[in-house]
Amino acid sequence: DAGVTQSPTHLIKTRGQQVTLRCSPISGHKSVSWYQQVLGQGPQFIFQYYEKEERGRGNFPDRFSARQFPNYSSELNVNALLLGDSALYLCASPAPGRSTDTQYFGPGTRLTVL
Amino acid sequence: GESVGLHLPTLSVQEGDNSIINCAYSNSASDYFIWYKQESGKGPQFIIDIRSNMDKRQGQRVTVLLNKTVKHLSLQIAATQPGDSAVYFCAESTGFQKLVFGTGTRLLVSP
């Protein structure tokens, strides 16, 4: 079974643009969480979705939004990009056979805002 | 508030030594903790976890110790190898699969 998958791997945008990042959770799981990791820091929680509903939101502005599709894949959207949005965006889901508290991460999408 | 931090930003060891990475947490209500390893350019990789009703848990070459009295968590790596070189994060689960991460400790293993 594939792990958490994310696309694209890398992305370069300019200030003011909008970006969409994609994620598919581990097969069989209905939950997806998004994290932002700025260089040199630990990941920060952005959103958690379960069965297409938002179950948690971190301290991020309304420029950040997400949604989950019937197949449990998810998109993270960021509008009006700022230089400070440059980061590694990580997606996570639980894994079969383990506690749902245990999050497994994908490889991330490296976003650079110029 | 919630916070998870680490005492040492960088730890340098020799190959074959045992490594100990420390972490302090502030939310006494947290009941689940995870250690992750992150190599350059990759996502965090699950290493080991522990619930608050345990003091110790062992995996392959790794041991996690939890001291709830002083709100301290540690990761012990036995016979450290060059492949163990990475940044290590502890994370605290606050429910609904939300993790709170510290800033990380870089482990450097010299041959």
DSSP codes of every residue in chain B: ---EE-S-SEEEEETTS-EEEEEEE--TT--EEEEEEE-TTS--EEEEEEETT-SEEE-SSEEEEEETTTTEEEEEESS--GGG-EEEEEEEE-STT-EEE---EEEEEE-
B97 and A CB contact within 8 Å: yes
Question: What is the model's pLDDT at position B29?
Answer: 85
Q: For residue B100, list its beta bridge partners.
A: B92
B91 and A CB contact within 8 Å: yes
- Give how far A56 is from chain B: nearest CA, Å: 7
Question: What is the model's pLDDT at position B88?
Answer: 96
- Give how far B66 is from chain A: nearest CA, Å: 17
Please say whether the beta carbons of A5 and A90 come within 8 A.
no
Per-residue pLDDT averaged across B49-73, rounded? 95
Nearest chain A alpha carbon to B32: A101
- Give how far A78 is from chain B: nearest CA, Å: 20
Return the number of CB contacts < 8 Å for A and B.
65
Q: Which of B32, B89, B97 sits opposite A42 (nearest CB)?
A: B89
pLDDT at B72 over 80: yes
Single out the residue of B96, B47, B91, B40 nearest to residue A108, CA to CA.
B40
Single out the residue of A89, A98, A99, A40 nearest to residue A64, CA to CA.
A89
Q: Which of A41-45, A98-102, B4-8, B15-19 shows the lowest mean pLDDT across its residues? A: B4-8
Please say whether the beta carbons of A35 and A45 come within 8 A.
yes
Alpha-carbon gap, residue B42 to B54, rounded angstroms: 30
User: Which residues of chain B have a CB within 8 Å of the CB of A56?
Assistant: 96-98
Question: What is the model's pLDDT at position B48?
Answer: 95
pLDDT at A32 over 60: yes
